[in-house]
Structure 1
Amino acid sequence: MDLDYFLKKEQVIKVKSENKQTVIKEMVEKLQELGLIDNKDRYYAQIIHRESLENTALGNGFAIPHTRTESVNQFISILGIHEEGIDFHNEDESPVNYILLSIFPSKMSTTYLYFIGMMARLFSNKEKKGLLDEARTPAKVYAVLKKEAESYFDAISEKEIISAREGDSLTGVPSSDLDLLIRLDRLYKVYDGGDKADSILKKIENLKKLIDNRSLSYYERMRKKQNNPFAIVEKNSCSGCHMEIPPVYMRQITDRNGITLCTYCGRFLILV
């Protein structure tokens, strides 16, 4: 997997608009100019509406305005670099210098998380963020991102990402699935621990029938990859990888609005 799947060189640009709304408009217009979308007004309205529901500034000068829409069938993004920084109406009131705008279909929501995981890891690392700030030009920023993407995606099999982009979206999966998955995981641990009783296997099969296929499929893959596919939220951080959870996802967790995955390690996040 390569950065170009998500973001090509010509999709890293400098932006000059002075506020949140106009910079989003400027970036959407650039996407249409590049031939990646065909109705800039529609996508602008969708992204602004999404921002009105929840601010997407993640801190460290980074924001991720986006929209999920069935009007596109591919992943589309553009990164805007603003030298002075703009007010994104974020809680810490710090200026935003990097705006990653994305448009993608619902079936690619998990693919989006892989990309945001890579970007968020970079922006949370002072040394790597410093390299971005020093780069200044779009071409040099792109080069820094490309190098980061190589190391990040080397740790993730392409098969996993392809599976994600082919429909492994957890959008719309009820939060109740998380409780069922935890129960399923406990049964698997009993079974894997040596208790091969038919009754345990039957409970596993019956429980799987109650779980949405999307979350079940994702859980099965994570179970093979991680000893524990779940992580507790501790002081706004994932207990699995110890990375800070962006505020936009913390609100989703506290509101118990569906299932939330760690953008860094992919574990299911649990608030206790």
Structure 2
Amino acid sequence: MKIENFIPKEHVMLTRADEKHLVIKEILTMLEDMRRIDSAERFYAHIIHRESLENTGIGRGLAIPHIRTETVNDLISVFAVSRNAIEYHSYDKIPVRYILLSIVPMEESTKYLYLIGMISWIFMDEKRKKPLGQAENRTQIYNVLKKNVKMYFDIISKKNITEMDSIDNLSGVPSFNLDLLIRLDHLYKLFDKGEKSSKITSKIDELRKIVDRKSLAYYERMRKKSLNPFAILEKNACMGCNMGIAPFYLAQVKESNNIAVCNHCGRFLIII
């Protein structure tokens, strides 16, 4: 995939806005002028309401204001770079200079998940992020995005477990199975260290019978690939591979109370 599949070049902008509401208005006005949306005021009201429910300043100078709506048929996203720092009350207290505003169709989440995943990946590394702040015009910003997006998809295309594989394979698996898998993993580690008593093997067999089949099969694949199939989620990043996780995906997982996995390394995510 290419950046053009998510953000067209004309949807990249430089701004001097220094307040949250001003930059959101500026982006939406541009979209209205381009006839991508019918009413900047209406979308502004929706996005500001969404912001009042949950701050979308996700750290490292990035904010991702967004809404889901039935009034658009395809993902509309704008990437803006501000010359001025914007106080966004992000959890890391770093002012925002980069804004990814998205209008997401109600029935289209996959494309948005990919977009958030790759933008988060860029911002997880200062070397990838820095050229965006040094860019002097739209073309330079777009070229930086294009280079990093290509790198991102080159990396994930080499992995056996992709984001959608991970989500689909464990779709609907309740999160309590994660506790069972952690207990099972502990027993396997004891077994691997030589504690092969009948008590250990009996407990392993017992747990294997009650763990969900899909999550057990997934765990066994991950166990062969990694010394630790589990990772803590901290500040929207997997601590196993230090890659950013799409907030939209995490919100879905938390709402559904299902198992979550990292779309980069495939580890089970422990959300604390």
Deviation (angstroms), 1:236: 7.1
Taking the aligned partners of 1:266 and 1:112, their CA distance within structure 2 comes to: 19
* Compared CA separation, residues 91 and 180, structure 1 to 2 (3 A): closer
Distance in 2, Cα, partners of 1:161 & 1:30: 34
CA distance in 1, matches of 2:88, 2:147: 28
Residue 87 of structure 1 is matched in structure 2 by: 87
Among candidates 150, 174, 178, match of residue 177 of structure 1: 174
Q: CA RMSD in A?
A: 4.3
Residue in 2 that maps onto 1:15: 15
Superposed CA offset, 1:62-84 (max 9, x none): 11111122322211100111101
The residue type paired with residue 174 of structure 2 is: D
SS of match in other structure, 2:174 = helix
Closer/same/farther in 2, CA of residues 155 and 106 from structure 1, 3 Å limit: farther
Q: Residue by residue, what CA displacement relative to the aligned partner does 1:3-58 show, whole Å, maximum 9, x if unpaired?
A: 11111111001223331112111111212222222233332222111111111112
Deviations 1:133-155 (A, max 9, x none): 11121110100100111111123
Displacement of 1:233:
3.1
- Structure 2 unaligned runs (5+)? 189-204
Whether contact under 8 Å (2:68, 2:104) holds in the other structure is yes
- Alignment partner, residue 42 of structure 2: 42
Look up the equivalent residue of 1:103 and give its one-letter code: I
For the residues of structure 1 that align with 2:123 and 2:82, how far apart are their CA atoms?
15
| Conserved? CA contact 1:67–1:102, under 8 Å | yes
Task: Please say if residues 64 and 99 of structure 1, whose CA atoms lie closer than 8 Å, have aligned partners that are also in contact.
Answer: yes
Alignment match, 1:194: none
Against the structure 1 CA distance between its residues 232 and 106, is the aligned structure 2 distance closer, same or farther, given a 3 Å change threshold?
Answer: farther
Q: Name which one, 1 or 2, has greater alpha-carbon Rg.
A: 2
* d(CA) in 1 for partners of 2:181, 2:107: 25
Deviations 1:188-213 (A, max 9, x none): xx9xxxxxxxx99xx69x956xx9xx
Match of 1:126 in 2: 126
CA distance in 2, matches of 1:110, 1:182: 28
| Paired position in structure 2 for 1:269 | 269
Cα distance in 2 between the residues matched to 1:150 and 1:265? 18
CA distance in 2: counterparts of 1:22 and 1:235, whole angstroms: 27
Cα distance in 2 for partners of 1:37, 1:236 equals 30
In structure 2, the CA distance between the partners of 1:83 and 1:244, relative to structure 1 (3 Å rule), is: same
Q: Is the 8 A contact 2:16 2:84 kept in 1?
A: no
The TM-score normalised by the length of structure 2 is 0.69
Cα separation, 2, equivalents of 1:47 and 1:266: 32
> Equivalents in 2 of 1:8, 1:161: separation in Å?
24
**Equivalent position SS for 1:7:** coil
| Partner SS, residue 100 of structure 2 | strand
**Number of equivalent positions:** 245
